[in-house]
């Protein structure tokens, strides 16, 4: 399995020093022949929270409109994090985040049995768009990961997936949906919601 090292920072730091983070860049387009746009993911941790940041180059930003947050996020370019206690994905927890800072958080069970009413207390997010680039950053309490059994007692490792939804406009005005995982699940059709798309995050001092 792929592993990503999450380095520790001091809790006294008002904002994360992202220069201390390993930069994850090996996203791919498994389901189409297309150049991979620059996509960077970083994560850090302190004694209270897991911090993360995505930096994405996007020459053709797609922002969904709709009456609900769900419609807007699912209709947008976005970045995603999945967390799970184990590879059965029963359950797993998803955070889909748009360049506008909207978050669609939900709990699911394999395969795609989704509880849209689930929430994650004290989840924090910020986002900015500076064409042709957008950034999404945020954090969540380690206590939440322990309650969800994602981060187990006396463990420094947990299962996580990291993804990007990269959309673009076709000449006729319709939108092509592109899907970029960190871990290529080797599925025939695009699907992040499978154990094969998950890697391991390792909390390091």
Q: Are strands 199-204 and 3-8 parallel, antiparallel or unpaired?
A: parallel
176's tokens: 């092509």
For 85-108, write each residue's pLDDT tens digit.
999 999 999 999 999 999 999 999
At residue 106's C-alpha, the angle toward residues 105 and 109, to 5°, is: 150
Is 28 contained in some domain?
yes
DSSP summary character for residue 182: S
Question: Token pair for residue 120?
Answer: 């994650």
pTM: 0.98
In angstroms, the CA 37 to CA 59 distance is: 9
Is 107 a member of any domain? Answer: yes
Structural domain of 149: 3-9+19-204
Nearest to 161 by CA among 149, 150, 177, 147: 150
pLDDT for 75: 98
Q: What angle do CA 134, 115, 40 make, to 5 degrees?
A: 20
Q: Examine residue 14 and state whether it is found in any structural domain, yes or no.
A: no
pLDDT of res. 94: 98
- Total domains, the chain: 1
Instruction: Residue 167: give its domain's CATH number.
Output: 2.60.40.1190
Residue 31 maps to a domain: yes
């Amino acid at each position: 399995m792929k592993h990503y090292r999450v380095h520790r920072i001091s809790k006294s730091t008002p904002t994360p020093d992202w220069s201390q983070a390993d930069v994850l860049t090996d996203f791919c387009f498994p389901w189409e022949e297309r150049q991979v746009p620059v996509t960077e993911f970083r994560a850090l941790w302190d004694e209270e929270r897991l911090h993360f940041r995505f930096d994405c180059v996007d020459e053709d930003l797609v922002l969904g409109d709709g009456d609900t947050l769900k419609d807007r996020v699912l209709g947008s370019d976005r970045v995603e994090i999945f967390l799970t206690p184990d590879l059965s994905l029963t359950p797993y927890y998803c955070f889909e985040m748009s360049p506008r800072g909207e978050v669609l958080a939900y709990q699911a069970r394999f395969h795609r049995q989704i509880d849209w009413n689930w929430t994650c207390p004290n989840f924090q997010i910020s986002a900015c768009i500076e064409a042709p680039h957008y950034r999404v950053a945020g954090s969540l309490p380690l206590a939440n990961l322990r309650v969800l059994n994602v981060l187990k007692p006396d463990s420094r490792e947990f299962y996580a997936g990291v993804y990007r939804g990269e959309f673009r406009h076709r000449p006729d005005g319709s939108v092509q949906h592109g899907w970029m995982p960190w871990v290529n699940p080797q599925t025939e059709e695009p699907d992040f919601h499978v154990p094969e798309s998950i890697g391991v995050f390792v909390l390091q001092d």
